């Protein structure tokens, strides 16, 4: 085992996702069995007592890869020297809250956290935003951290990516391992576009393998895009273990890279590729190598896909305009 622990910050650590995520990270699921991890856990003051209980449970697991745990309510202390920042804690939408209220409340969280990361994080910090609205929260954090390269900020659309793989595998009755090159375009919201036209199943084009445009349009896309709401309806709470698992998948891919011939979906700052307005944090197909992601280039986008990508990107632009009006970016 190497001797210097990698510092991983998790915000909202006493929440539902945190309860699954922390144990996965501590057991080596993010950085492997040979890398010791120091967890740096941020919560709001009233949740620190509950977080102390979670830390007792982490201690009780005696994980060989867990070197140390620090908790606190001050981001400039908790983020000190962190190599990975998993920003999960966010303000959920409450009764009577409009989208703008949610963006304002979350701006109050992600602007100071972006500033704190800028001030104290390690030079190689990589930031993953899971807390909703994830894409725009990532934009807020990024905009408040001018000294951190923009390519080190990302938002989670890996859960949507995994959901799309699982739905397609079930429809075609194949193992998930047969599916490559899945793409989620746009926002982590109901407007997202899961794309089967560039996806492959056992080396064959997925849309052709399905051979049913009606299913693709009226079942597959809405099932994936509205899966979060379906889970809230069924469970009475939003997805947590699957969101934690996808957060691990996302951050691990960022470290380990993508397999040859495959890609993943990550929400990253657009450079204008595929007509997505530069500067928006939007989901793209990306390959990762040596800790750096690159948007897959040269995919043909037909009219069907174009309209769906444009609709989701428009929503991102509206969210960007709303947080700009609030002077959060
Ligand atoms: P939760 O309410 O159980 O936990 C959130 C935690 O964040 C709470 O413990 C709260 O005290 C904490 N928190 C609030 N403000 C904070 C701050 N300023 N600093 C640090 N911590 C703070 O929620 P959850 O189920 O764990 O979900 C967390 C977020 O993840 C939500 O926004 C949810 O919508 C989102 N989510 C995203 C995806 C995705 O795929 N991107 C999937 C599922 C859930
Ligand atoms: C999910 O995709 O499961 C969540 O983002 C849903 C939500 O609104 O919390």
pLDDT above 90: percentage of residues in the chain: 90
Which ligand is closest to the CA of 131, given by its number? 1
50 CA from centroid of ligand 2 (Å): 23
Q: Which ligand is nearest to the CA of 44?
A: 1
Tokens 């947080």 label which residue? Answer: 323
Which atom of ligand 2 is closest in space to residue 231's alpha carbon? 3
Measured from the alpha carbon of residue 224, the closest ligand is 2
Over residues 164-183, the mean pLDDT reads 98
Task: Show Cβ contacts of residue 222 under 8 Å, excluding neighbours closer than 6 positions.
Answer: none
- CA 18-76-68 angle, to 5 degrees, is 50
pLDDT at residue 49 is higher than 70: yes
Nearest of 38, 29, 43, 44 to residue 2 by alpha carbon:
38
The alpha carbon of 88 and the centre of ligand 1 are apart by a number of angstroms equal to: 5
CATH of the domain spanning 158-319: 3.90.110.10
Which ligand is in closest contact with the Cα of 245? 1
Nearest alpha carbon, ligand 1 atom 2: 15
Which CATH number applies to 6-155? 3.40.50.720
- pLDDT one-digit tens code per residue, 240-253: 999 999 999 999 99
Higher pLDDT, 151 or 329: 151
How far apart are alpha carbons 316 and 179 in whole angstroms? Answer: 28
21 CB near ligand 1 (under 6 Å): no
The reply to whether ligand 1 has any atom less than 6 angstroms from the CB of 44 is yes
Which of 54, 79, 89 for mutating ligand 1's site (highest number of atoms within 8 Å of CB)? 89
Give yes or no for residue 181 having a pLDDT over 80.
Answer: yes
Q: Residue 182: pLDDT above 70?
A: yes
Q: What is the pLDDT of residues 198-248, one digit of tens each?
A: 999 999 999 999 999 999 999 999 999 999 989 988 998 889 999 999 999
pLDDT at residue 177 is higher than 70: yes
Euclidean distance between the first and the last CA atom of the chain, given in angstroms as a whole number: 41
pLDDT of residue 94: 65
CATH 3.90.110.10 residue ranges in the chain?
158-319
Q: Is the distance from the beta carbon of residue 87 to the nearest atom of ligand 1 less than 6 Å?
A: no
| Structure tokens, 147 | 């000294």
Phi, psi (5° rounding) for residue 182? Answer: -75, 145
Residue at token pair 């993953």? 128
Number of Cβ within 10 Å of residue 243's Cβ equals: 22
Percent of the chain with pLDDT over 70: 97
Which tens digits make up the pLDDT trace of 282-325?
999 999 999 999 999 999 999 999 999 999 999 999 999 999 98
- Cα→Cα distances 191→147, 260, 295, Å: 32, 30, 20
For ligand 1, whether the C-beta of 54 sits within 6 Å is no
Q: Locate the ligand 2 atom nearest the alpha carbon of residue 238 and give its number.
A: 9
- The ranges of the chain annotated as CATH 3.40.50.720 are 6-155
Query: Hey, what are 162's tokens?
Result: 């995994």
The DSSP element (H or E) to which 79 belongs, if any, is none
17 Cβ below 6 A of ligand 1: yes
Please work out whether the CB of residue 5 comes within 6 Å of at least one atom of ligand 1.
no
Whether the complex's predicted ipTM surpasses the cut of 0.95: yes
Judged by DSSP in three states, 284 sits in strand
Among protein residues, the one with the nearest Cα to ligand 2's atom 8 is: 228
What is the position in ligand 1's atom list of the atom closest to the CA of 89? 7
Query: Which protein residue's CA is at the shortest distance from atom 19 of ligand 1?
Result: 43
Catalytic positions, written as ranges: 188
CA 89 to centroid of ligand 1, rounded, Å: 4
* Span from the CA of 32 to the centroid of ligand 1 (angstroms): 25
Q: What is the pLDDT of residues 54-113, one digit of tens each?
A: 999 999 999 999 999 999 999 999 999 999 999 999 976 666 766 677 888 888 999 999
Residue 109 CB less than 6 A away from ligand 1: yes
Phi, psi of 225 (to 5 degrees): -70, -30
pLDDT of residue 172: 98
Q: Which atom of ligand 1 is nearest to the CA of 160?
A: 40
């Amino acid at each position: 085992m190497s001797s210097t622990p990698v510092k991983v910050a998790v915000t909202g650590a006493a929440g539902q996702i945190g309860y699954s995520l922390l144990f996965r990270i501590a057991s080596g699921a993010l950085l492997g069995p040979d890398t010791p991890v120091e967890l740096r856990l941020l919560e709001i003051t009233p949740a620190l007592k509950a977080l102390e209980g979670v830390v007792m449970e982490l201690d009780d697991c005696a994980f060989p890869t867990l070197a140390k745990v620090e908790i606190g309510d001050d981001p400039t202390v908790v983020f000190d020297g962190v190599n990975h920042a998993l920003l999960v804690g966010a303000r959920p939408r409450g009764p009577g809250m409009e989208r703008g209220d949610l963006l304002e409340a979350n701006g109050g969280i992600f602007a100071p956290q972006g500033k704190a990361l800028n001030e104290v994080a390690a030079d190689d910090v990589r930031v993953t935003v899971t807390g909703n609205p994830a894409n725009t929260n990532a934009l807020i954090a990024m905009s408040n951290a001018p000294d951190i390269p923009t390519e080190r900020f990302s938002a989670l659309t890996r859960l949507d990516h995994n959901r799309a793989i699982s739905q397609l595998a079930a429809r075609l009755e194949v193992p998930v391992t047969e599916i490559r090159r899945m793409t989620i375009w746009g926002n982590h919201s109901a407007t997202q576009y899961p794309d089967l036209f560039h996806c492959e199943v056992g080396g064959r084009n997925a849309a052709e393998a399905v051979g049913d445009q009606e299913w693709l349009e009226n079942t597959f896309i809405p099932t994936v895009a509205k899966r979060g709401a379906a889970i809230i309806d069924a469970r009475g709470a939003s997805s947590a273990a699957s969101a934690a698992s996808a957060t691990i998948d996302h951050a691990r891919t960022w470290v380990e890279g993508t397999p040859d011939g495959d890609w993943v979906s990550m929400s990253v700052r657009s450079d204008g590729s595929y007509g997505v307005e530069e500067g928006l944090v939007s989901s793209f197909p990306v390959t990762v190598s040596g800790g750096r992601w690159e948007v897959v280039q040269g995919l043909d986008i037909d009219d069907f896909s174009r309209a769906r990508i444009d609709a989701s990107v428009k929503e991102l632009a509206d969210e960007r305009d709303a947080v700009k009006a609030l002077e959060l970016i």
